[in-house]
């Protein structure tokens, strides 16, 4: 029996599916941004972000670089969550070391808090008028986060590198190990493409690591992505993140410090009625 000709609609559906898949491999941000933008926009014109005082602990003061590179006044800022593409990497934090359950089974606590913090930064930043987006390599399937190839097209590093090479700025959020291994909060500056004014203001707020930190071999900075270590995952910082009574306000407080630092730069002035630092409650 001869094969019948395929239905034109079936062919179109297959072609569309192939086009979407190839686009995702080339630049997942193109697909992710419309979805994530709607998720990170506040539900009201001036959504409330109540905060609480959070002690992020010691900070690195080994800065030996100057962030002087100017960026476009409308630069697109891409926020990445460290270890979002390899969920078993990163620190477990002091609480888990002391016997507490992890925040999410199968995932380090650092990866969990990186994701929560990065999303909050983008949400607050967009309310304050910044051209800022959060990228999640597993936004369509967040259950198993495992990409063993660092250079796979969908990873943080590959996506961030493409974003920077296109003229954007990429920031990857991390939490440091607990004492005695943790080295505190601070910016680990990007090596590829040079240090920017955003790096400089973030370093003023959180501290900074030297340009050759870990001999300059960290994957993100070599690809033009700045790393922000929020603080050691221990003490007051970890306690307020883990406590359900203070968690939301603690995330707001951390995001507010980051967004406020970016707003101070000559290239990223916020617009609208919600462009002032948040009150501490």
**pLDDT, one tens digit for every residue, the chain (281 residues):** 434 444 544 445 444 443 443 343 334 333 333 333 333 344 455 678 899 999 999 999 999 999 999 998 889 999 999 988 876 678 999 999 999 999 999 889 999 999 999 999 999 999 998 999 999 877 656 555 777 777 888 888 999 999 999 999 999 999 999 999 999 999 999 988 889 999 999 999 999 999 988 766 788 899 999 999 999 999 999 999 999 999 999 999 999 999 999 999 976 555 544 644 454 44
Please tell me whether residue 222 adopts helix, strand or coil conformation.
helix
Query: What element of type H or E holds 199?
Result: helix 197-206
Residue 153 domain-assigned?
A: yes
Please report the pLDDT score of residue 218 as a whole number: 85
Residue 277 domain-assigned?
A: no
Residue 201 domain-assigned?
A: yes
Please report the pLDDT score of residue 153 as a whole number: 82
Residue 25 domain-assigned?
A: no
pTM for the model = 0.80
Please report the pLDDT score of residue 98 as a whole number: 97
DSSP 8-class letter at 135: E
Please tell me whether residue 60 adopts helix, strand or coil conformation.
coil
Half-sphere exposure of 78 (CA within 13 A, CB side): 28
Q: Which two tokens stand for residue 71?
A: 């960026």
Task: Please tell me whether the peptide bond between 180 and the residue prior to it is cis, using omega within 30 degrees of 0.
Answer: yes
Please tell me whether residue 175 adopts helix, strand or coil conformation.
strand
Yes or no: say if 221 and 152 are a contact pair by the CB < 8 Å rule: no
Please report the pLDDT score of residue 274 as a whole number: 60
Please report the pLDDT score of residue 252 as a whole number: 96
Please report the pLDDT score of residue 189 as a whole number: 93
Number of domains present in the structure of the chain: 1
Residue 11 domain-assigned?
A: no
DSSP 8-class letter at 171: E
| Enclosing domain of residue 49 | 36-263
Residue 44 domain-assigned?
A: yes
Residue 53 domain-assigned?
A: yes
CATH code assigned at 43: 3.40.630.40
Please report the pLDDT score of residue 271 as a whole number: 54
């Amino acid at each position: 029996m001869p094969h019948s000709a395929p239905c034109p609609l079936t062919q179109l559906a297959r072609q569309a599916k192939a086009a979407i898949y190839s686009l995702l491999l080339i630049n997942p941000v193109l697909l992710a941004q419309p979805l994530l933008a709607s998720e990170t926009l506040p539900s009201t014109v001036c959504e409330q972000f109540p905060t609480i005082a959070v002690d992020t602990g010691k900070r690195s003061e080994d800065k030996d670089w100057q962030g002087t590179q100017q960026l476009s006044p409308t630069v697109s800022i891409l926020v990445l969550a460290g270890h979002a593409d390899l969920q078993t990497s990163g620190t477990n934090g002091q609480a888990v070391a002391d016997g507490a359950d992890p925040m999410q089974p199968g995932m380090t606590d650092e990866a969990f808090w990186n994701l929560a913090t990065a999303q909050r930064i983008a949400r607050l930043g967009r309310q304050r008028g910044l051209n800022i987006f959060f990228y999640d390599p597993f936004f369509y399937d967040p259950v198993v986060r495992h990409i063993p190839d660092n250079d796979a097209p969908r990873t943080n590093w590959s996506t961030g590198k493409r974003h920077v090479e296109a003229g954007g700025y990429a920031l990857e959020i991390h939490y440091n190990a607990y004492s005695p291994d943790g080295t505190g909060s601070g910016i680990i500056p990007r090596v590829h493409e040079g240090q920017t004014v955003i790096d400089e203001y973030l370093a003023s707020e959180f501290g900074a690591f030297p340009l050759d930190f870990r001999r300059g071999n960290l994957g993100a900075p070599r690809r033009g992505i700045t790393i922000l270590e929020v603080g050691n995952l221990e003490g007051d910082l970890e306690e307020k993140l883990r406590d359900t009574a203070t968690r939301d306000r603690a995330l707001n407080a951390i995001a507010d410090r980051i967004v406020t630092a970016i707003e101070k730069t000559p290239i990223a002035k916020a617009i609208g009625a919600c462009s002032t630092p948040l009150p501490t409650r």
